[in-house]
């Protein structure tokens, strides 16, 4: 039986910018009341809903022959999950805080144990909450400094419209004054009397910070951000001495502080925003420690300024201005400073050097210690702590072949202890797998790192299928993590490769800057050159590669599909940002103004318009033979809206010369993060993997 795809209506819409006219036949797929749809998906325009359902039915029919394979892939992944699993406990005063999965349950249970009585207390059972909704995602969760209250944020539609609830841990009751229309970011004041939270406006942007009196439920505006391109966040320092309000876009930041012991004081600015200057702050050893890129310190350096009295802070504006900052840890062009944690007696920083990460520890006497790994490709990450007075550093180690390990390192004695190792119930022998770090030469002389992993019995003669993953945006590095999902590929004789392309920060912040805005083409060319390098070195051959990218990585997928469709058997694009020119020209969308530093502003800048138009995947589709494509979107996704993959697939299918299918799957009850729940998310992963296997094995 021949299965035919739905044929969408064409409703030509003429768009003119800077004298250029383009016709968008599928602009109608964007519901003009999309903001209301985020709140209530049932309000989706009926013709759009019918079309998306038809596309889902077509995809389901085309993938019907892979049902058994999907089940096998799912069961294999599930067999690698420990049925019962707990996080390492975190010490905080007289309590130990942790979470666990119980057998056959999808979500975590949060609990604490009294260190005095050893009695357990359930704080929040996410499973009980999730049963009430078709979709459920827990966001931030935090207990108050006095251990009396628990605040948590919930998203029940995937639209990232969060609701914050506060639970009285003494009575077990939820306080009646919940917080809606927020972005889910919050923190308690140092005295536990107030909750600071971030408001979400009608365009989905965090624009205000409020202080809620928990006893009365009354809110007081603390901070208002006038620039729609700046996002807000709020956090309390580990020392519990300060509250930090951060306003930033992709190029510039500004931080305001409030003494945690005096939460009703007005915020005090560290130093006013200056275009191109990024800084972050923590407090340590009577100083504010400042991570910043000033003085052309692209990979960031650390500076410090003495913390004055609260009285001086409030009466002397500018007392913390950057002119008073003193250099402390100098800039290193080879080492990218990622983050820092201020223990009471140690300042810990996470760094990246040539893709891999490491930890540097410095004490108040200036003694430096280094924590690193010994594999060719690995990742070390800092684990959160609740007790700033501890001498133990908590961190995790993993690699593509080594499951995650949780470690504690005594920063005074150098003693090292393994707290926990990730269990793989079905068994895993790291020695059966190989991982390598390759360097592919780019046309401009840069060397692009590639992390490849494969089973030791997999032939390296060009015959093996290969999954090539890439992202390359926002300075986000794709770390070489261990993955129970990727093991499915490896055990089926695939090679799994990560292309660490420009736009990420794998080789430092300059690696990011050289793959953004007017240099975005580097991200696409890097990915193609990684594929060609793997071909020339016999890891695979053309037509045996499946490319995979998510979100902004989906833009890479769209671009390489237009540029080199001959290289790939298939393209996987999950929540793909492919309608770049239209999205960046619509300032009502949540991320558009904040994203202009990343991509350019095609509304006001003709050069930005021209450059984006030159690569925007949707706008550069042409009559050619395209590979098989699977695009996955979410109806309530506020980041990459559902109509982007829908329009992309419709236009691709219209222009495709090959017999290979272009499939669209829209999750009608979830958003950017996809399906929730630890088992349901594996089913979605199995569906995507089955498509990859089907594309390699089927002669369309």
| Angle, CA 79 vertex, CA 75 and CA 81 arms, to 5° | 120
Helix (H) or strand (E) holding 566: none
Enumerate residues 6+ apart whose C-beta is below 8 A from 53. Answer: 668
Note whether 495 and 467 are within 8 A (CB): yes
Enumerate residues 6+ apart whose C-beta is below 8 A from 654. Answer: none
How far apart CA 534 and CA 87 sit, in angstroms, is 38
Note whether 441 and 490 are within 8 A (CB): no
Residue that is written with structure tokens 């275009």 in the block: 275
**Is residue 637 among the annotated active site residues?**
yes
- Residue 467 pairs in a beta bridge with 496, 546
Q: Are strands 20-24 and 392-398 parallel, antiparallel or unpaired?
A: unpaired
Q: Which residue in 251, 473, 637, 670 is the catalytic one?
A: 637
Alpha helices in 441-518 (DSSP H): 486-491, 509-513
C-alpha R_g of the chain: 25
**Is residue 551 among the annotated active site residues?**
yes
Enumerate residues 6+ apart whose C-beta is below 8 A from 346. Answer: 361, 362, 363, 391, 393, 411
CA torsion sign for 19, 25, 29, 33 is positive
How far apart CA 377 and CA 399 sit, in angstroms, is 6
Note whether 91 and 116 are within 8 A (CB): no
What's the CA dihedral at 8, 570, 158, 27 to 10 degrees? -30
**Is residue 147 among the annotated active site residues?**
no
Q: What is the DSSP letter of 175?
A: P
Enumerate residues 6+ apart whose C-beta is below 8 A from 33. Answer: 43, 45
Task: Show contacts of 300-309: CB within 8 Å, 24+ apart.
Answer: 300/331, 300/336, 300/337, 300/509, 301/327, 301/328, 301/329, 301/330, 301/331, 301/332, 301/337, 302/328, 302/329, 302/337, 302/340, 302/349, 303/327, 303/328, 304/328, 307/283
Q: Which residue in 237, 483, 523, 551 is the catalytic one?
A: 551
Enumerate residues 6+ apart whose C-beta is below 8 A from 237. Answer: 243, 244, 260, 282, 283, 342
At 105 the three-state DSSP class reads coil
How far apart CA 45 and CA 37 sit, in angstroms, is 9
Tokens of 545: 């590669």
Enumerate residues 6+ apart whose C-beta is below 8 A from 17. Answer: 585, 602, 603, 609
The catalytic residues are 551, 637, 672
């Amino acid at each position: 039986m021949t299965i035919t795809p739905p044929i969408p209506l064409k409703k030509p819409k003429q768009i003119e910018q800077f004298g250029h006219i383009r016709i968008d036949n599928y602009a109608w797929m964007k519901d003009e009341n999309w903001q209301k749809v985020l709140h209530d998906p049932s309000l989706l325009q009926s013709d759009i809903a019918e079309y998306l359902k038809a596309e889902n039915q077509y995809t389901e029919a085309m993938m019907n022959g892979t049902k058994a394979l999907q089940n096998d892939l799912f069961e294999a992944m599930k067999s690698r999950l420990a049925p019962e699993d707990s996080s390492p406990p975190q010490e905080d005063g007289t309590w130990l805080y942790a979470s666990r999965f119980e057998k056959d349950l999808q979500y975590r249970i949060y609990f604490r144990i009294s260190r005095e009585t050893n009695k357990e207390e359930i704080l929040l059972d996410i499973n009980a909450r999730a049963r009430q909704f078709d979709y459920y995602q827990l966001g931030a969760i935090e207990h108050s400094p006095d251990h009396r209250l628990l605040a948590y944020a919930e998203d029940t539609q995937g639209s990232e419209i969060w609701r914050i609830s506060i639970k009285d841990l003494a009575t077990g009751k939820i306080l009646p004054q919940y917080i809606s229309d927020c972005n889910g970011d919050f923190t308690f004041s140092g005295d536990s009397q107030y909750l600071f939270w971030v408001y979400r406006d009608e365009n989905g942007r965090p624009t205000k910070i409020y202080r809620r009196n928990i006893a009365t439920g009354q809110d007081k505006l603390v901070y208002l951000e006038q620039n729609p391109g700046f996002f807000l966040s709020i956090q309390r320092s580990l020392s519990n001495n300060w509250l930090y309000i951060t306003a930033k876009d992709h190029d510039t930041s500004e931080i305001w502080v409030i003494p945690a012991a005096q939460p009703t004081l007005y915020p005090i600015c560290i130093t006013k925003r200056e275009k191109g200057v990024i800084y972050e702050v923590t407090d340590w050893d009577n100083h504010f420690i400042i991570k910043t890129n000033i003085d052309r310190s692209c990979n960031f350096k650390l500076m410090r300024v003495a913390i004055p009295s609260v009285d001086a802070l409030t009466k002397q504006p500018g007392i913390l201005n950057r002119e008073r900052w003193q250099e402390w840890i100098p800039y290193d062009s080879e080492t990218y400073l990622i983050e820092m944690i201020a223990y009471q007696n140690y300042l810990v920083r996470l760094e990246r050097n040539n893709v891999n990460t490491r930890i540097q520890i410095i004490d108040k006497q200036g003694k430096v210690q280094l924590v690193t790994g010994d594999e060719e490709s690995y990742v070390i990450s800092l684990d959160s702590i609740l007790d700033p007075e501890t001498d133990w550093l908590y961190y995790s180690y993993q690699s593509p072949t080594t499951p995650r390990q949780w470690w504690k390192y005594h920063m005074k004695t150098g003693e090292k202890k393994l707290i926990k190792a990730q269990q793989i119930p079905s068994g895993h022998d790291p020695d059966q797998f190989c991982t390598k770090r390759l360097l592919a030469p780019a046309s401009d002389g840069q060397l692009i790192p590639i992390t490849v992993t494969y089973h030791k019995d997999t032939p390296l003669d060009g015959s093996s299928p290969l999954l090539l993953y890439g992202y390359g945006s926002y300075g986000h590095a794709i770390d070489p993590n261990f993955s129970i999902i990727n093991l499915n590929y490896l055990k089926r004789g695939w090679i799994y490769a990560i292309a660490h392309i420009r736009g990420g920060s794998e080789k430092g912040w300059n690696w990011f800057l050289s793959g953004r805005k007017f240099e975005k083409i580097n991200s696409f060319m890097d990915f193609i050159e990684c594929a060609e390098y793997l071909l020339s070195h016999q890891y695979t051959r053309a037509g045996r590669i499946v490319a995979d990218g998510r979100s902004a990585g989906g833009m890479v997928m769209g671009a390489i599909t237009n540029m080199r469709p001959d290289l790939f058997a298939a393209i996987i694009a999950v929540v793909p940002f492919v309608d770049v020119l239209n999205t960046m020209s619509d300032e009502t969308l949540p991320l558009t103004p904040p994203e202009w530093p990343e991509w350019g502003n095609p509304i006001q800048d003709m050069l930005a318009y021209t450059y984006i138009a030159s690569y925007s995947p949707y706008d550069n589709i042409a009559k050619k033979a395209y590979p098989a494509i699977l695009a996955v979107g979410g109806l309530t996704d506020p980041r990459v809206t559902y109509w982007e993959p829908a329009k992309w697939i419709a236009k691709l299918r219209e222009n495709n010369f090959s017999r290979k299918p272009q499939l669209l799957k829209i999750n009608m009850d979830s958003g950017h993060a996809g399906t929730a729940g630890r088992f349901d998310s594996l089913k979605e992963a199995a569906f995507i993997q089955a498509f990859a296997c089907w594309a390699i094995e089927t002669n369309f």
